[in-house]
Amino acid sequence: MNKLVLTFILLKLSYSMILGAFDYALEQIENVIPVNVIENKVEQSPLNSENFSEKLSVDR
């Protein structure tokens, strides 16, 4: 029983450390590339345009 509790605590700690590392990495990426720049790139993407589905149906 004691080993089970220790294993659970160890897994919980490692899980929170991994989540913390991802959170820190995302924060660093946002410092380099602001979120609004990424959103603008997605909006300007040809895949996001309204004509894309029309072009697809015309090409077929």
Its domain, for residue 41, covers 2-59
pLDDT at position 16 is: 92
Beta-carbon contacts of 52 under 8 Å, excluding residues fewer than 6 positions away, are 46
pLDDT at position 46 is: 62
Highest mean pLDDT among 1-10, 29-38, 50-59: 1-10
Whole-angstrom distance, CA of residue 36 vs CA of residue 48: 16
pLDDT at position 32 is: 75
Q: Into how many domains does the chain fold?
A: 1
SS3 label, residue 18: helix
> What are 56's two structure tokens?
């697809």
Residue pLDDT, tens place only, 4-26:
999 999 999 999 999 999 999 98
Quick one: average pLDDT of 26-31?
82
Q: Where are the alpha helices (DSSP H) in 1-60?
A: 2-32, 35-44, 51-59
Site of tokens 């605590």: 9
